[in-house]
A = this chain, B = another copy of it.
């Protein structure tokens, strides 16, 4: 493992100093190579699918795993889109001259070696490798075991293009020890690895956070809220609540708890329930909600839950302060929204709620790299530092200060 990561570290100096046009040319060659090798990729993917069937994986899981001609073309297209993104390295973030006459520039640079732990969809392998490559980083990929054959062939197709261009194949690496022990070693190698991005279940993320000595940017759960204020446009409120909960309940930016101002609860909630019923949404509610709707009582536990399914809890609150306090207690700092026409209430919510994304009069479902205009996304960070919320390619860079002198010494 140590030798493997030493090679990755050495490769990081090479990829960091490639010219933009070289990187873009290679990314387009990688796209071509995926398409040219599509039959090989489909054959290897078939092995994963067969094992998955033997292991009785759900049909949803099988679909996530499946690669066909169309999906491989989509993977290639994603690589060409990443090639077309603006160069993320060398952006001047700030610059100034200090009294000593030194000229200082704050400039973006690659992070170095990035370990990424993810599951299922094999397209993540090529997307992530391409995002890391474009931003001048080495990636060490640890995909799900269920996609072992698919990830191996995709990585080897991309590596072949690197080698054809005289570059070390370690620039795109798969973690050689694809087990929990392998992860355990990787996350402690702070001498070689600069960042770990775990995307996956709570147990994995907890394990990584507790054991890593390498800095971690987590992609953890979303317990998202929507607060319907007394000054809400109720038509918008209804439409946004349905979208936030029902459009894709398995997404981390989907709604878990609806907070409703008491003064409009009796008009709003019956109509809201009718709309949710039409979507077969499972509703629980607080005691006050139960006075208005025929629903089960929501427990303390329910308010902490990321359902990942078409289910939610409703709570009636006194005012925006109670809504903000509820979110501070139960929210996971992901995405929170208020529906109101009241300027002061809206400002208070936007300023006082601490989350990666705080919305007014919009669905929480927009928390997404694509919707934010970042192009391909690395994921949605639930970290508070370095990268927060939708992570685009610029979040795969850090910075250094370049300082230009003319012989200055410190007095």
Using CB atoms and an 8 Å cutoff, list the residues of chain A in contact with chain B. 13, 16-17, 96, 98-100, 102, 104, 109, 111-112, 190, 194-195, 209-210, 213, 215-216, 233, 236, 239-240, 242-244, 247, 328, 350-352, 354-363, 365-366, 371-373, 383-386, 388-390, 398-410
> Do B371 and A98 touch across chains, with their CB atoms under 8 A apart?
yes
In the bound assembly, the distance between CA atoms of A228 and B348 in angstroms comes to 56
> Do B361 and A406 touch across chains, with their CB atoms under 8 A apart?
yes
In the bound assembly, the distance between CA atoms of A111 and B333 in angstroms comes to 12
> Do B233 and A363 touch across chains, with their CB atoms under 8 A apart?
no
> Do B371 and A398 touch across chains, with their CB atoms under 8 A apart?
no
> Do B195 and A403 touch across chains, with their CB atoms under 8 A apart?
no
In the bound assembly, the distance between CA atoms of A236 and B408 in angstroms comes to 8
> Do A384 and B398 touch across chains, with their CB atoms under 8 A apart?
yes
- Please indicate the chain B residues that have their CB under 8 angstroms from the CB of A410 in the complex: 243, 247, 363, 365-366, 371
22 A-B residue pairs with Cβ-Cβ distance under 8 Å, sorted by A, are: A16-B354, A96-B373, A99-B373, A111-B384, A112-B354, A194-B384, A195-B384, A195-B385, A215-B216, A215-B385, A239-B409, A240-B407, A350-B402, A355-B400, A359-B404, A360-B405, A362-B408, A363-B409, A371-B410, A384-B398, A385-B386, A385-B398
**Given B236, B400, B404, B409, which contacts A388 in the complex, CB threshold below 8 Å?**
B400
> Do B243 and A354 touch across chains, with their CB atoms under 8 A apart?
no
Q: Give me 9 other A-B pairs in contact (C-beta within 8 A), A111-B385, A239-B409, A362-B407 excluded.
A: A96-B373, A195-B385, A215-B384, A357-B400, A357-B401, A359-B403, A360-B402, A363-B408, A366-B403
- Please indicate the chain B residues that have their CB under 8 angstroms from the CB of A383 in the complex: 215
Instruction: Name A's interface SS.
Output: mixed
> Do A403 and B247 touch across chains, with their CB atoms under 8 A apart?
no
In the bound assembly, the distance between CA atoms of A384 and B217 in angstroms comes to 13
Expressed in whole angstroms, the minimum distance between the Cβ of A233 and any Cβ of chain B is: 7
In the bound assembly, the distance between CA atoms of A398 and B386 in angstroms comes to 8
In the bound assembly, the distance between CA atoms of A96 and B371 in angstroms comes to 12
In the bound assembly, the distance between CA atoms of A405 and B383 in angstroms comes to 25
In the bound assembly, the distance between CA atoms of A339 and B46 in angstroms comes to 59
**Given B102, B215, B357, which contacts A362 in the complex, CB threshold below 8 Å?**
B102
> Do A388 and B399 touch across chains, with their CB atoms under 8 A apart?
yes
A351 and B215 contact, Cβ closer than 8 Å, known pairs A98-B371, A239-B409? no
A365 and B409 contact, Cβ closer than 8 Å, known pairs A13-B352, A360-B404, A384-B194? yes
